[in-house]
Amino acid sequence: MTTSVEEAVTERAEGKPLGKRERTKINNREAILQAARDVFADLGYGATTVRDIIRRTGLASGTFYNYFRSKEEVFEALMDEGMRRIRPRLRAERIRSRTFEDFIRNALHAYFEYLASDRETFEVMRRNPNTVRVRMETAEMIAGFEEIREYMEEDIRNGTLPPVDSEYLMASVVGLAMEMGDRMIARDNVDPAAAAEFATALVLGGFHNLPVTGKAPAAPGGEEGGE
């Protein structure tokens, strides 16, 4: 028994029995990615070494390099994977949305739902003070953002959206969603629906339409009753 981190994947795609060699390859790759998720979350991206990752898999150090060229490439793979999962959802929302408003609402819902479901991956960007938060502009990421922007341009062309600066609009929505997403997953009660509501209201209607929290914060001194 050399190694391999046997686990699931006895599967077969379209009837192909899928030989042991290929199974192992898939499993090893997945094991490395999973280990990387764990270690990144534990130590932070900057502090983790390739060997920290590979150690958790039981594989030999050299094997790592059969799968990835570096720690960065693993990270890239993780980001890409995330993006590849979310893009179809956004595309689906795009299709079933009739208006720009609809699309924004649905897309934000999809995004926050996804984030909540795959929380683990995104804990890479920890909240620990003095930890570097990383983000990688992978090809898949850029394409994903551009796709969103493209939708906006379309809406501008068909008149659903006034001719605004689509790059800024895309960046705004993306930045807002990502930063809110970070906060969301840091909370004890992750509530993607609430986050999506909030973001949607802000983007679509300005802060006047934001959902109001239950408790108005305790009035400091003893002011007028107000409202």
Where is 92: in which H helix or E strand? helix 71-96
**Amino acid letter for position 210:** L
Choose the contact partner of 131 out of DNA, a copy of itself, none; CB within 5 to 8 A by kind.
a copy of itself
CB of 152 to a copy of itself, least distance (A): 10
Binding mask 113-142 vs a copy of itself (x if CB under 8 A, - otherwise)?
--------------xxxxxxxxxxxxx--x
Tokens of 42: 């534990």
CB contact at 8 A, 79 and 138: yes
Q: How many residues bind a copy of itself (CB under 8 A)?
A: 68
212 near a copy of itself (CB under 8 A): yes
158 near a copy of itself (CB under 8 A): yes
CA distance 224 to 25: 69
CB of 6 to DNA, least distance (A): 9
List the one residue from 13, 16, 95, 213 that touches a copy of itself (CB under 8 A).
213
In 3D space, the residue among 198, 199, 226, 225 whose CA is nearest the CA of residue 212 turns out to be: 198
List the one residue from 7, 42, 60, 92 that touches DNA (CB under 7 A).
60
CB contact at 8 A, 203 and 115: no
Binding mask 85-104 vs a copy of itself (x if CB under 8 A, - otherwise)?
---------------x----
Choose the contact partner of 176 out of a copy of itself, DNA, none; CB within 5 to 8 A by kind.
a copy of itself
CA distance 144 to 80: 10
User: Which residue number, 64 or 151, has a Cβ lying nearer to DNA?
Assistant: 64
10 near DNA (CB under 7 A): no
Choose the contact partner of 227 out of DNA, a copy of itself, none; CB within 5 to 8 A by kind.
a copy of itself
CB contact at 8 A, 111 and 181: yes
Number of residues in the chain: 227
CA distance 89 to 194: 19
